[in-house]
Amino acid sequence: MKLSVFRPILCLAALLFFAAIPVSPAADEKAPVAAAGASDFNAKNTFRNICSFCHEDYGRKAGKGPQLMNNTNSDEYLFNRIKNGKAGRMAAFGGAFTDDQIRDMVKFIRSLRPDQEP
């Protein structure tokens, strides 16, 4: 039996059978969209939206990437690593964020403490 013969039936069946949960999505929660250069840049939000994929617990703990809290490298080193990345270990975010935004990220990393929420 070829599925294509029964395609209309299957499509209908799919709509009836597989759409397990009826949906009435609200349009009032339209997903906001931001450019990286937006003036409301927030280092903490950016960190947990992007950086937390590799640096766990806001970077207070290692994960796929190293722990960032108490990092002994200089601010300049951190700035350059965020901006330029390192092949195979970390993406370069220089094209996504401005220098000022990256400096804000470095400040956020420097503010991390083990006993208080960032």
* Residues found near another protein in the complex (CB under 8 A): 1-4, 7, 10-11, 13-14, 17-21, 23-37, 45-50, 52-54, 56-58, 61-65, 84-85, 87-96
Minimum gap (Å) between residue 102 Cβ and another protein: 13
Minimum gap (Å) between residue 77 Cβ and another protein: 18
Helix 75-84 × helix 99-110 angle, to 10°? 130
Minimum gap (Å) between residue 59 Cβ and another protein: 9
- How far apart CA 8 and CA 96 sit, in angstroms, is 46
Contacts of residue 66, Cβ cutoff 8 Å, sequence gap at least 6? 55
